[in-house]
Structure 1
Amino acid sequence: MAKALRVDPRDGVATLLNDALAGEVVTVGEGADAGSFLLTTDIGRGHKVALSSIAPGDPVVKYGYPIGTATQPIAPGAHVHSHNLKTGLEGTLAYRFDPVATASTPSASTTTFEGYVRADGNVGTRNEIWILSTVGCVARTAERIAAKAVALVGDSVDGVHAFTHPHGCSQLGQDLEGTRTIMASLACHPNAGGVLIVGLGCEENQIRALLAAIPASRHGMIRTLTTQASGDEIAEGCALVAELAELAKTERQTVGLDRLVLGVKCGGSDGLSGLTANPLVGRMSDRVTSAGGRVLVTEIPEIFGAEQMLMNRAASAPVFERIVEVVNDFKRYFLDHGETVSENPSPGNVVGGITTLEEKSLGAVQK
């Protein structure tokens, strides 16, 4: 007997937890709330099945929120997917701040972690050496240095990684400033116990200008290499990494969760992501933020259709207004370039059971 999960009592669909065939009995819920029905068609794991009749134009509800509207009559036990469900997303929206309570403060036993405290006061969860390339021309050089240096430093640090990109040359104004800002931020990341900046020498994104954008408190753990001025850039780069690894040796310290910063993003979602891993990450995020830490959410377009849930968790009305501005600004960007705000999910998401961006977003914001 197949099983399906209904997330919210208001839902008109449930998600199959395993593959099921037409005519098979599917159970939903447990105990007094348990129910069962016959499938009218084969439905794969992670895909949706209708729990009741849905008329054309009616909202299809999952997670307690609409994930789109029905495009044709949907009978109980039928597969609900791209053939009978469409997105309801269009353009920018007006939002209302309706604050909701967030998680309570965790117990004292869960308010600390073991981290690496840096000179600037930030705390990392790893102690690595990062190699940053100023320009795409030296990207491969940075990667080769990282690959060879791993054997040199052994387990004295948690790893050696190259962060490369195709930019840094023929960039001007805000374009160049954007690249430099991102690189300066990477150089300040607390997971980097040491940073090697590799440049070519003739690029727009000059090492000197990049260093000027990095706070002086980080300069002691930064080394630079200009390949056009080096006889053997790989050997010299490896030597600099070894030097940084020696300088980076340190011990973990017990610090409060208020000093932890986490980053979460969407990746490889399917119909079960919002029921399994994402809620777990969300519980962890609540613990961190309730203790004073921070959780960063990326990929703003992948909260379209679920943004109100996050907006209602804003710390204040001004913060709420800033979130509204960011969301609608992203939507206007899509519209100004002739794209719809619902140009998502990806083909892989669809194969995994996700039909609309609303559904994908509602699963993603569980984090």
Structure 2
Amino acid sequence: MEQTFIKINPADTVVVCLQQKSKGDTIEIDGKTVILNQDTPAGHKVLITDTPEGADIIKYGYPIGHACKPLKAGDWVNENNLKTNLSGTLKYTYNPVKETLDIKDEKRTFKGYMRKNGEVGTRNEIWIVPTVGCVNGIAEKLAGKLRHETGCEGIDDIYAWHHNYGCSQLSGDHENTRNVLRDIALHPNAGGVLVLGLGCENNQPELFEQLLGDYDKERIKFLVTQKVDGDEIEAGMDILRSLYATAKEDKREDVSVSKLRVGLKCGGSDGFSGITANPLVGEFSDWLVAQGGTSILTEVPEMFGAETILMNRCETAELFGKTVSMVNDFKEYFLSHGEPVGENPSPGNKAGGISTLEDKALGCTQKCGRAPVSGVLKYGERLDTNGLNLLSAPGNDLVASTALASAGCQIVLFTTGRGTPFGTFVPTMKIATNPTLAARKPNWIDFSAGQLIEGKTMQELVPEFIDKILAVASGEKARNEINDYREIAIFKNGVTL
């Protein structure tokens, strides 16, 4: 018989409908019959036990909020009758949970570009990085001119990463901009980088160059347009031609999968996210960590309600402390702006079956599997520890994906139940949570985790998923690259002058 609902954890007081259910339909669960009291869409929750007002409702084995009125078994549970339990900052206790990943090292490889500093690129592109938004137009014109002149022969592509910042910013915002632009300039997916300055901006090119440290001067070059007598376009093209000549000699070679760094992100989530795509990505994350590779989980506000699970997986008390600070600092950020910490699910999330931030967070955090947390990064910091890392960044799709790539990820895995076309400055693979989305938007979707509700087992699907990711790492284009949807977004908090 076809399964039409799922109880995710034995302790749950709700089941999730895998198909549209009608009022009067029955669910046989735990030795009893539950009759649905309302029509309930696919991906949404049905209560399987009477619940008084104020009592917790359990999903994934944890509370996802409380009933805001008395509810009966068979009721459709949604944002109208379920409210978050989240409030302000909390004090946490470290209760470490040690779990060993029983996953063998398969000695897999992918075809990557070895860089002089030991990092590996999954792409070999020419990038133009403006120090300030005032030269965005020049950067775009240079990228288009080089693309027309070379046809990108011998390299993967040419891009200018335009942004609005680099001037009229103070303190933290200014440093965030500088750090992210530094991270982009140093990223191994670039075979050559032109850092393009104006000259009078806050993000002074000379000081920005110092921020790069001991960089490869053959691969990263600077041009300050106010210092050019005459045509800055031709001056820029001279530099780009030199960078192109160097980069086009690079060749892919077999590289250990331990060199792969993958960002974990979700957006446009639905009620299937925590059942299909996020657990699938979690299986990949654990596999990658077991191979000596690295994955990064971000979206701190979407950890609220599941944060203790991550905290207790920290390898050390020091990492636990960093995770506590990361979570509470983001809560303080919300509260300082007069915003409640639990007001997160979007209209699309709610339409897809996610009712509270806890509901969203417990599904979201499954993307990082079961591996121990071996590193915690501030926004704009670069990776220095293999294994599972946590990164401080907001939930916003563009900002968080840019932050993951800036930290050093060569690919971002992006799960989605509603669908989204965008990509950041590294390949951004979209994993559909349900077969309907995968069928409707094949031009957006790279892989369908919806196969898990069509009869395929996780054990069957994981090897296919691994092969797909390694193919993209080896040069197969992600859908966002095919569509030429690529951009960056930098986190902003403070005053604009």
Q: What is the rounded CA distance, in whole Å, between the counterparts of 2:34 and 2:111 in structure 1?
A: 50
Residues 1:127 and 2:124 aligned together? yes
Amino acid at match of 2:23: A
Q: CA deviation at 1:107?
A: 2.5
Q: CA deviation at 1:155?
A: 4.4
Q: Deviations over 1:60-92 (max 9, x none)?
A: 111111000011122222110011100000111
Residues 1:137 and 2:131 aligned together? no
Residues 1:104 and 2:97 aligned together? no
Farther-moved stretch of structure 1 (349-358 vs 106-115): 106-115
Q: CA deviation at 1:233?
A: 4.3
Q: Deviations over 1:162-185 (max 9, x none)?
A: 222211123355543332222111
Q: What is the rounded CA distance, in whole Å, between the counterparts of 2:146 and 2:326 in structure 1?
A: 41
C-alpha distance 243-35 of structure 1, shift in aligned 2 (>3 A): farther
C-alpha distance 7-296 of structure 1, shift in aligned 2 (>3 A): same
What is the aligned residue count? 363
Aligned residue for 1:5? 6
Larger Rg: 1
Q: What is the rounded CA distance, in whole Å, between the counterparts of 1:49 and 1:356 in structure 2?
A: 15
Aligned residue for 1:115? 112
Q: Deviations over 1:262-288 (max 9, x none)?
A: 222232111111111111111111122
Aligned residue for 1:195? 193
Q: Deviations over 1:300-324 (max 9, x none)?
A: 1110000111112111222112211
Aligned residue for 1:354? 354
Amino acid at match of 1:137: C
User: Secondary structure of 1:341's partner?
Assistant: coil
Counterparts of 1:244-259 in structure 2, within 5 Å, are: 244-248=243-247, 249-259=249-259
Amino acid at match of 2:64: I
Q: Deviations over 1:67-121 (max 9, x none)?
A: 0001112222211001110000011122222333445263232454332221111
Aligned residue for 1:95? 92
**Contact 1:132/1:183 (8 A) holds in 2:** yes
Aligned residue for 1:206? 204
Q: What is the rounded CA distance, in whole Å, between the counterparts of 1:173 and 1:24 in structure 2?
A: 59
Q: Deviations over 1:198-255 (max 9, x none)?
A: 2223222122221111133332201233334264445554554443233123223333
Q: What is the rounded CA distance, in whole Å, between the counterparts of 1:233 and 1:47 in structure 2?
A: 57
Amino acid at match of 2:246: L
Amino acid at match of 1:131: I
**Contact 1:334/1:340 (8 A) holds in 2:** yes
**Contact 2:105/2:291 (8 A) holds in 1:** no
C-alpha distance 255-38 of structure 1, shift in aligned 2 (>3 A): same
Amino acid at match of 1:187: A
Q: What is the rounded CA distance, in whole Å, between the counterparts of 1:56 and 1:261 in structure 2?
A: 46
Q: What is the rounded CA distance, in whole Å, between the counterparts of 2:102 and 2:128 in structure 1?
A: 38
Percent identical among aligned pairs is 46
Counterparts of 1:144-223 in structure 2, within 5 Å, are: 144-151=141-148, 152-223=150-221
Aligned residue for 2:270? 270
Q: What is the rounded CA distance, in whole Å, between the counterparts of 1:313 and 1:307 in structure 2?
A: 10
Counterparts of 1:217-296 in structure 2, within 5 Å, are: 217-228=215-226, 229=228, 231-234=230-233, 236-238=235-237, 240-248=239-247, 249-296=249-296
Residues 1:311 and 2:311 aligned together? yes
User: Secondary structure of 1:366's partner?
Assistant: helix
User: Secondary structure of 2:218's partner?
Assistant: helix
C-alpha distance 343-244 of structure 1, shift in aligned 2 (>3 A): same
Structure 1, unmatched stretches of 5+, are: none
**Contact 1:3/1:27 (8 A) holds in 2:** no
The match for 2:50 among 47, 50, 53 is 53
**Contact 2:45/2:78 (8 A) holds in 1:** yes
**Contact 1:153/1:245 (8 A) holds in 2:** no
Farther-moved stretch of structure 1 (237-246 vs 79-88): 237-246
User: Secondary structure of 2:292's partner?
Assistant: coil
Q: What is the rounded CA distance, in whole Å, between the counterparts of 1:231 and 1:27 in structure 2?
A: 78
C-alpha distance 232-79 of structure 1, shift in aligned 2 (>3 A): farther
Q: What is the rounded CA distance, in whole Å, between the counterparts of 1:185 and 1:279 in structure 2?
A: 29
Amino acid at match of 2:10: P
User: Secondary structure of 2:180's partner?
Assistant: helix
C-alpha distance 272-234 of structure 1, shift in aligned 2 (>3 A): farther
User: Secondary structure of 1:339's partner?
Assistant: coil
Farther-moved stretch of structure 1 (53-62 vs 132-141): 132-141
**Contact 1:102/1:286 (8 A) holds in 2:** no
C-alpha distance 172-102 of structure 1, shift in aligned 2 (>3 A): same
Q: What is the rounded CA distance, in whole Å, between the counterparts of 2:159 and 2:330 in structure 1?
A: 32
Aligned residue for 1:62? 59
TM-score by length of 2: 0.68
Amino acid at match of 1:181: N
Amino acid at match of 2:165: H
**Contact 1:67/1:356 (8 A) holds in 2:** yes
Amino acid at match of 2:211: A
